[in-house]
Amino acid sequence: MGATKHWFLQRELRWRVAAAVAWAVLMLPAFTAAYLALARLDPLHPLLWVADTLSELASSHVLFTLTLLSLMLLLVSAFDSRNYTVVALVPCTPLGALAGAVSPHRVLHCAAHTVAGLLAAWCAVLTAGGAYRAPSITCGAQHSPVGECLSERHLFVLLFGGFVGATYSFLYFHSHMYYVPFPAIQMYKYRRFRALLPRILTHSAAQSLRLLRYYCLLYFLLGKWPRGWVMAAFDLHLDSSVSRLDSVSGLLDVPLLYETWLAGAFVLLTWYLSWALLRIFSTEPHVFFVESSFPEEAEMCLPAVLASNPPSIVKHLALQDLSILAQYSPGRRQQIFSLSQPGGRPHTWTMVSSTCLSLLTELAHRLVARQDLPTNQLSKGGLPGPDAPDQACLPGCTPLHMPHAARMRPLVQPLPPSVAGRLGPAQAPSTPADLRLPPSPPFTPDLGGADMGAGGGVGQVGAVMELPLRPQLDLGSPWHGAVQSPHLMRRGPRLWSSTSPVSSLLATPPLPSQSPPQQNTAAPDWLGQKWDQVKNYGSKVWPVSYFVHKLPESSSQALFADCQAHIWALEALSHLVAASITEDRFGVVQTRLSEILNAMLALQDAVDRHFKLPQAPNRPARQAHSLVDSSHKNLRFALRAALKTAVYRVASTFGEHLNSVQVAPEYRRRLQMFLDYKE
């Protein structure tokens, strides 16, 4: 089924987004009342202050501003929800980050938030009232021209709202606010929101104060330009009796600064509330049917969802439900261990385990291909420098607004010929969907469609343990057999992967070689060499080298950007295998225990070798106590911990019985270390 008509998007996710926006709109009057009370703060006359606030809340202009603020909140939520994704986009170079920042989609996003910030600030000023409500005032100086004069204080607050909107749009992409992380500890929506609310309040106030400092400096330098445009457009004059705000004395107006800061904090608060509610509602666990007796509900069952190629958000929610099922639901586990009738075959277990194994095998192949890159570059002459192209890193200039067919490209670029030849046609991906979960925004109606269904994908049952083939040998090649010429010498083993246990596990007998048709490639090779020379020369020039140099840890972060799905697959498999020793009455899990152990140990070997690479960090980054989540930077460490925990869970459950399970010889020693609790 195409992702544009996926049942989960139509029946579940759409209502989640609507509920999140509805709650944000319903809470808007309460925060508007709090803003009005703070704007009219009068601690010396508390009774008059409370009465004035209550009477102002019932006025018609406050109701009008509430309606307009609700419309602005809907606009901001619509723009933000179309950019949400469960896989973070990691730019490789400063040039990629800069190209992504100036993409048309982000420019439109920034323009929409700037306009929304201007209107929200105008609503805030209109609600607060006072001296800054009107855009024009009566000229007070005698030598001033007769007529209306510009209220520069009013313009100052409005422009600050636009500045807040533009900054929010920039930070939305720069700080990965579009990334939707799943909580490690499951809680009710109310508890999650209650825990986030104090952080939202403090973050909005602190960010508004920081932005006010930069805005005052910017207005001091460039404030005369927008002031002149407004005066010329509306035929207004400047009151000479009031100090201008592009001067030091004008900017030292404490009531104006307080009003401006409060308006900016109010705008940020309403936007952050909508942003947090959308993330809370979208990551709420969904309970899928394990099996159903009705044919119309067959596609809604958990095995069918996992085996298909759904949108990323649906795939993650299904794996999350599988992980929770494997840990805390004995009744639903029995449905997975049961046999299908008629026939008495474990179709449910086969589909679930095949999806999880395909995820683990795909990640192991991806890591093996990444480990081969230094050797491939070394064989071409020279060590890979910091400016060398990295095939495991996702360019940051990929705009999220692109059509789905253009956006559905692999996060890992096509493998080098040597690596693709070693992996063989059984596992060398031919379509983008064969590599990993696509980073598609989960809330758009074009969340996959036919483009995502082009390949078998990670979730295909038949692509579980189709292990790669060894490189095909040409019998006529001088590299086959004995070397007769003294000028020829054999290539040594690859640095990382040729002799590794992963390569020996992912190997099957070779297929007969097929000689490809001879083609004249002299012209493309010459053009490629010239292009490489131009790139190498340009990378040494200072302005170019700064923008094309590799960002620290970018390749490693991009390689593990989607491994949250693999973590859930590991947890689900290990818990199901551990529970099968007492709950599996038919022995369906034992039929694939060897494949599961081999896949886990192969992935652990690939992960350990990745962390030995020079560009891979050894310690996770420290998590700052901030509202914006940055857990995607440490997903690789979470995967390594989950992998070791999963193997220990299986080893501690079965104990010495695992010695009778067929495991690759390279992993027998590692498995024994787990059994002895020495790993």
pTM higher than the cut 0.85: no
Confirm if 318 and 302 have CB atoms less than 8 A apart.
Answer: yes
Q: Are 239 and 318 contained in the same domain?
A: no
Q: Are 146 and 181 contained in the same domain?
A: yes
Confirm if 399 and 100 have CB atoms less than 8 A apart.
Answer: yes
Going by C-alpha positions, the residue among 419, 590, 600, 642 that lies closest to residue 501 is 600
* Separation of alpha carbons 635 and 643, rounded Å: 12
Q: How far is CA 549 from CA 148, 357, 386, 545, 554, in A?
A: 56, 36, 6, 6, 11
Q: Are 245 and 332 contained in the same domain?
A: no
Which residue type is seen at 386? P
Give the domain-ending residue among 282, 308, 342.
282
476 found inside a domain: no
Q: Are 255 and 312 contained in the same domain?
A: no
Q: Are 314 and 186 contained in the same domain?
A: no
318 found inside a domain: yes
Give the domain-ending residue among 258, 282, 306.
282
Q: Are 257 and 356 contained in the same domain?
A: no
CB atoms within 10 A of CB 454: 17
Q: Are 255 and 357 contained in the same domain?
A: no
Q: Which pLDDT does position 98 carry in this prediction? A: 81
Q: Are 347 and 264 contained in the same domain?
A: no
Confirm if 308 and 459 have CB atoms less than 8 A apart.
Answer: yes
Which residue type is seen at 279? R
> Residues 6 or more apart from 650 whose CB is under 8 A from it?
574, 577, 578, 596, 597, 600, 658
94 found inside a domain: yes
Q: Are 55 and 103 contained in the same domain?
A: yes
Going by C-alpha positions, the residue among 320, 292, 290, 293 that lies closest to residue 303 is 290
Q: Are 446 and 394 contained in the same domain?
A: yes
Going by C-alpha positions, the residue among 313, 326, 324 that lies closest to residue 281 is 313
Q: Are 332 and 430 contained in the same domain?
A: yes
Confirm if 180 and 85 have CB atoms less than 8 A apart.
Answer: yes
Bond before 445 cis per omega within 30 degrees? no
For every residue of 93-110, DSSP letters joined together read SHHHHHHHHTSHHHHHHH
Residue with tokens 């170019």: 544
142 found inside a domain: yes
Give the domain-ending residue among 228, 250, 282.
282
Residue numbers of the domain that contains 577: 298-382+389-470+554-675
List, for the chain, all residue ranges whose pLDDT scores fall below the cut of 70. 1-4, 140-147, 373-523, 538-539, 623-625
488 found inside a domain: no
* Separation of alpha carbons 141 and 242, rounded Å: 9
Distance of CA 154 to the CA centre of its chain: 39
Confirm if 412 and 458 have CB atoms less than 8 A apart.
Answer: no
154 found inside a domain: yes
113 found inside a domain: yes
Residue with tokens 């360019």: 395
Count Cβ neighbours within 10 Å for each residue of 71-107 and write b for 16 or more, e otherwise. ebbeebbebbbbbbbbbbbbbbbebbbebbbebebbe
* Separation of alpha carbons 182 and 638, rounded Å: 13
Q: Are 22 and 166 contained in the same domain?
A: yes
Question: What's the domain count of the chain?
Answer: 2
Q: Which pLDDT does position 145 carry in this prediction? A: 56
478 found inside a domain: no
Q: What are the DSSP E strand ranges found in 375-533?
A: none
For every residue of 143-180, DSSP letters joined together read TSPSSEEE-HHHHHHHHHHHHHHHHHHHHHHHTTTTB-
For every residue of 278-313, DSSP letters joined together read HHHHHTS----BS--SSGGGGGGBHHHHHHS---HH
